[in-house]
């Protein structure tokens, strides 16, 4: 297991606090937890792509970064108006 995979595993532990925030707090705070988790997932995908030398995982990380922004804005809109 190289340094890239070790770092990816350590960052996966960071998803636990995000999950705690997502499952136990009120709606706006849950959204913050979700945004933090998606940010961590982008980092983890970059590390896994480099650790396993898989080029397509870089595309996945880039797409997740772009789509998590759009998804976050949709959640924000719903939170502001209807939820």
Partner 1 sequence: MTIKILLYAAAAIALFSCVGLVIMKDVNEKLHYLSPPSTVSIFLIAIAIAVREGWSEQTVKAFICAIAIVLMNPVLTHATARAARIREFGQWVSQPHERAEKRQAGD
The footprint of partner 1 (CB under 8 A) covers 3-4, 7, 10-11, 13-18, 20-21, 26-29, 31-33, 35-36, 39-40, 42-43, 46-47, 49-50, 55, 58-59, 61-62, 65-66, 69, 72-73, 76-77, 79-80
- Say if residues 4 and 50 touch (Cβ distance below 8 Å): yes
> Least separation, in Å, of the C-beta of 20 and partner 1?
6
Are the C-beta atoms of residues 42 and 61 closer than 8 Å to each other?
yes
In whole angstroms, the minimum distance from the beta carbon of 53 to partner 1 comes to: 9
Q: 47: how many CB neighbours lie within 10 A of its CB? A: 22
């Amino acid at each position: 297991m190289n340094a890239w995979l070790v770092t990816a595993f350590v960052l996966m532990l960071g998803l636990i606090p995000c999950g705690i925030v997502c499952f136990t707090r009120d709606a706006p705070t849950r959204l913050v937890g979700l945004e933090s988790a998606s940010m961590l997932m982008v980092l983890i995908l970059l590390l896994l792509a480099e650790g396993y030398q898989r080029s397509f995982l870089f595309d996945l990380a880039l797409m997740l970064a772009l789509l998590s922004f759009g998804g976050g804005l949709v959640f924000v809109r719903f939170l502001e108006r209807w939820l």
